[in-house]
Structure 1
Amino acid sequence: KNNWFFLFVDAMKEMKTPVFGFEALKNFRFNTAKPSTKIFISSNTDWFDAKVDILFGDQQVSVAEVKRALANKQQFVQLNDGTLGILPEEWLKKYSLLFRVGEGKSDTLKLSRYHLSVVDELYETRDEEELVVALEEKYETLKEFNKIKEIEPSEHLKPILRPYQVAGYQWLNYLKDIKWGGILADDMGLGKTVQALSFMEYYRKENKSLKALVVCPTTLIYNWENEITKFTPELTYRIHHGATRTRTKEEIMDHEITITTYGTLRSDIKLLMSVDFDYVVLDESQAIKNPGSKVTKAACLLKAQNRLCMSGTPLQNNTFDIFAQMNFLNPGMLGTMEFFRQEFSTPIDKFGEQDRKDHLRKILFPFILRRTKEQVAKDLPEKQEMILFCEMESKQRNIYDAYRNDFRNQILGTIETQGIQKSQLTILQGLMKLRQICDSPAILNEQEKFENHSIKLDELAREITENIGDHKALIFSQFLGMLALIRAKLEELGVKYEYFDGSTSAPDRQKAIESFQNDEEKRVFLISLKAGGVGLNLTAADYVYIVDPWWNPAVEQQAIDRTHRIGQTKNIFAYRMICKDTIEDKILKLQEKKRALAKDIISDDSSFVKTLTREDVEYLFS
């Protein structure tokens, strides 16, 4: 509450305006000298020692007194002669971060090796009259070591990796060299997985072996599997998930990458912590943002030489989200939970203190690599199309399996007695029902009503939460029931959206389009697939989700091209959501066989069914 006076005196001194009458003050006796500061920094293996001398005239102040003043948000320190020394704004800007993160009481501060950026800043802004930095050989070596080496990716990856991905791959190697953990925080769609895999392949080649653990949400298991087989097929892997998973350390040791989920990590922590991993990767690492949760505690028990977090949104709701992730990566780097809350998260989130935000940014800077779509746009194709695999939970899977078995028996029986031509209606009905269950059994138009068990809805909610902060998205579904479920989910998440389907009038449709294009608050547009096929120009969006893709890519392509129009300045990311081991997954494989047919002849579902052989039908309903 008395800081106004110190700020005033400080400003007068800056303007070289004399201030009289200090001696007349009864309660506050001021030392009029400016603080003279000398800091001698030396380095050890894992920390820096900073010997600090601060003098106000002939009065020396202790490190503990400065730390106390900063903790109480005071701009003065108590001196031994009873006077108060003023800490000017300029001094606070230069030194307060050093005192906040350093540990010590008398005249020495100890800084972790993780705080190299703090030491660097002191060195860069040093004033020879105020600051002396005694840099030992070890520190110079460490600074030299901190330069990122330009290592080449494997020959087969060179034509695949984009320039920013090569930079990410080299950054991962740099983290390994200096034994730091980091967060790869690129925007979604920029290929965080392939960067991590390309480095694992390099690690295996350099060290002649690799033992890695990847922990991810259930929905991403098969995306990791696909990326391994596509980009680094020489790496061996096993999915450690589900009732049939291994229970022995020996089986974990017989391959190079173990892919598991956060839930399985929590259940199997005794088994997993018995393995010395070379590498542990937490994908969508905001899953461990709560330091007190069982999954966070389990992650911190894992043994690993190298640790990596991957997340497009490492800070989702508040500053405290970053604490547990950094504590997993570099234990102790941000101090205790209470220290971090007091020094950073509360001042930033509750009071919006910019200096604390700047301080935290400086500490975190070396440990987070984030590139946005806009920053790397020149390296990206105009449009990228990807498959987002989803793994059904048991309740949804049980309903799917029961319906599939019923239709399989019914259809094969009809084919046997009447031939495939007369079975087409039954086949169409079966395909439609199974597709609806892949979205959610709740949208089935049956006498027996099912609850909403939808892995796609869960995954879509995760995607939207992660991406719509800086981007807009189009979501297409063929089923109005699924669009209704998505609307309810968006309302639950507090996400503002526009909507139309085939029954929306032309004026209302135009109004919705203009609102989405021009209103920054409208982040999502829900459209029925067939209604969204013609004459729409929605260039405000750069993410597209096809919730229930099907056999005819032309219809989906039309939907994706709603964003990819003249006037579009952003790169487009389009995702087709596919439930693993279902009719959707099988259609993908069948498409490869019938691609020419689909392209040239087939225009509707009945045309598609006419191309199916008995073997195709058996395969689809298997």
Structure 2
Amino acid sequence: MSYNESARTALYEHHTGLSTIFSELEAQEKRKPELAEQPAELTVTLLPFQREGLHWLIAQEASKYKGGMLADEMGMGKTIQTIALLLSEPRGKPNLVVVPTVAIMQWRSEIESNTAGKLKTTIYHGASRVEDPKKLKQFDVIITSYNVLESVYRKEHAGFRRTDGVYKARSALHAIHYHRVILDEAHNIKDRQSNTAKAAFALETDRRLCLSGTPLQNRIGELYSLIRFLRIEPFCNYFCKKCDCSSLDWMFSDKRTCDRCGHKPVQHANWFNTELLKPIQNAPTAVEREAGMRKMRSILKHILLRRTKVERADDLGLPPRIVDIRRDRFNEEEEDLYQSIYSDSARRFSSYVAAGVVLNNYANIFTLITRMRQMADHPDLVLRRHGATENDTTLVCKICDDEAQEAIRAKCHHVFCRLCVKEYVEGYDAEDTQEPLECPVCHVPLVIDLTAPALEVDEDTVKKGSIINRINMANWRSSTKIEALVEELYKLRSDRQTIKSIVFSQFTSMLDLVEWRLKRAGFETVKLQGNMTPMQRDNSIKYFMQTASVEVFLVSLKAGGVALNLCEASQVFLLDPWWNPSVEWQSGDRVHRIGQHRPVRITRLVIEDSIESRIIELQDKKANMIRATIEQDDSAMNKLTPGDLEFLFTVC
């Protein structure tokens, strides 16, 4: 019997309709592109492919799916296509738009400027937000953030603690039945077990739409959360192998028997896992894995629309985009410091390999790799990490030893940057070990809600904890990478015009050092980081865009890698390679998007013969996985393995 066949046979016996699902999908023709009429109240003219997208969105909502995923490549106008949908018939309200915090003000601005005030909009964010569901229903569009959505859901279901007990508060967002719910950057719910995903699943609406240029980032299983939110049956459902019981949710209140049929959890299977995820990831033969991929594509072609800039180059008329890798080498002092850290790290890693406990020491290995990445930026990021600040209230990430961006706290009370710990959690592959993922600090099992609201800290306190205040800058020495950036920026200077650049880094202390160096080199800069309010972020973006003398925008990749429109800039510099290639794609496309008229150059600064050059090679594996699934490329599916970790520690 072939892989997973016994589970299928048991399910088919009591759920006969499942046996014909894929033959019906194959027989169903993919919707042909047609041009929709432009809504009369839309003040911007849609491009032909955007009118095709609008027609697809309208048709999807009218179909049995009641929605779908718009997965156009970043910078192709998913927002304006969605606004056109909001203006199309049948018109209904309220519509809820859930976005990353950084995009709240941009969404409101786009709606107001492109609909001539025809859509009444409110922002559900901050202390002054409207809490009365009856009043919220009067708006055409309600804009909120993922953090707020998760927070109100958690307070309604788990409650919040006060000195005299635990209290629960009704969620105004979940008290409304919506005409339509739209998730922008929908990959924010990719972890099906997170509170953010559960908060999105709990929303009641007639129509559902996911927007994401990168709906798949790390693993095939991430697609389940989007399918679950869209309620694409039967893939989102659980089925009993012993009877005809089926349900959208995992219904085991006592953790022993099904609330509906009384059978045990082991007798229930999720259809997405059974037919798609397990065959693709675990099937013993290439034939069975390829069959799983064909099935995945058979459903995606009916619920997902993906266009790329290359495919629609004639419609877009975008200027060329050039991606360069500038490769530099350490100076002698940096080389000695790096080799010292590398030798110690490689020795410790080799001991784990020899003992066969690589994955059991994932936390230690992850820390070693992070330190080498920081050393490639500037030695001070590693050498000055201890005694981070004299003020104990400053939040410092225990992974990057930097000022924590969107700080969240684990159950063991250690604080991390949200994106650092996400990277840490998502990079762990537990298939080869029964050991749970452990805290990288105290090594107890890691329990953390990756979507919890950010911990609050006074902005002045954060500034006092800057690396600049921990170093005697009178004797400070720059680094090879910072000087490479300064050299590139000097090349861009012109007497005729101001060429604006965006500089991305994962490490805010690196941005602090870059800012200090650039100001002394005569550059005016603006900085965007994770401790800013939506209004502060919006004002910083506007100042960069509207002030001719500002040449450089320093952006924390954790705070501004998505949902920004920065077409005033035409140059992007990525200071440190990121594990997830889609994050870098997102950051580069902040400037290469509709509205850009200048050639765009994206420069990745890499130190040769360091861990950075290896990370770039490993990125290709995830890029192949994304293309194989979303863009229907037949490249091999790969994920990082202990062998890949060993590659990072191999001498060039």
Category of TM-score, reference length = shorter chain: 0.3 to 0.5
More RCO (CA 8 Å, sep 6+): 2
